[in-house]
């Protein structure tokens, strides 16, 4: 899945050691602009955590994620893990898929000509 959002909050990096070695992760909360501004918390693991460290609140970003749910003791938990991220070419608050308005062409609206005929 891919979405474009604005960085709402960058949480501190978390590190640890497992049987496979050292690991690190960073969670970033993105806000998806729209009628109802929704927030999604995305986890960046390993080298992706370093990429997430370069983000600032208000940055417009395109993020590709894997979403997975798992059951533990009768309850379900959902993980949203990033696998690709790129700064969006759109500015902060841009809505994904929104069309840019056409530029106003003054050639068709001369200022010195007044036409008050309705047809």
**pLDDT at 117 (0 to 100):** 59
* pTM score above 0.75: no
Domains of the chain, first to last:
2-89 (2.40.50.140)
pLDDT digits (tens, 9 = 90+) for 91-116: 544 444 444 444 444 444 445 555 55
- CA 1 – CA 82 distance, rounded (Å): 10
**pLDDT at 35 (0 to 100):** 86
The band of 72, judged by pLDDT with boundaries at 50, 70 and 90, is: very high
Please, what sign has the CA dihedral across residues 41, 46, 51, 56? positive
- CA 109 – CA 103 distance, rounded (Å): 13
Cβ-contact 61, 33 below 8 angstroms: no
pLDDT digits (tens, 9 = 90+) for 6-58: 999 999 999 999 998 999 999 999 999 888 889 999 999 999 999 999 999 99
- CA 64 – CA 77 distance, rounded (Å): 20
- CA 63 – CA 5 distance, rounded (Å): 8
Span 61-76, mean pLDDT? Answer: 95
Helix (H/G/I), strand (E/B), else coil: 51? helix
């Amino acid at each position: 899945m891919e979405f474009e959002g604005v960085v709402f909050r960058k949480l501190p990096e978390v590190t640890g050691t497992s049987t496979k070695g050292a690991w690190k992760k960073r969670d970033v909360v993105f806000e998806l602009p729209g009628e109802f501004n929704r927030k999604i918390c995305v986890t960046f693991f390993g080298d992706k955590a370093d990429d997430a460290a370069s983000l600032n609140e208000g940055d417009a970003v395109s993020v590709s994620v894997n979403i997975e749910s798992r059951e533990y003791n009768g309850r379900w938990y959902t993980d949203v893990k990033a696998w690709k991220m790129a700064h969006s070419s759109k500015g902060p608050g841009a809505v994904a898929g929104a069309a840019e308005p056409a530029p106003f062409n003054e050639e068709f609206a001369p200022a010195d000509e007044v036409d008050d005929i309705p047809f």
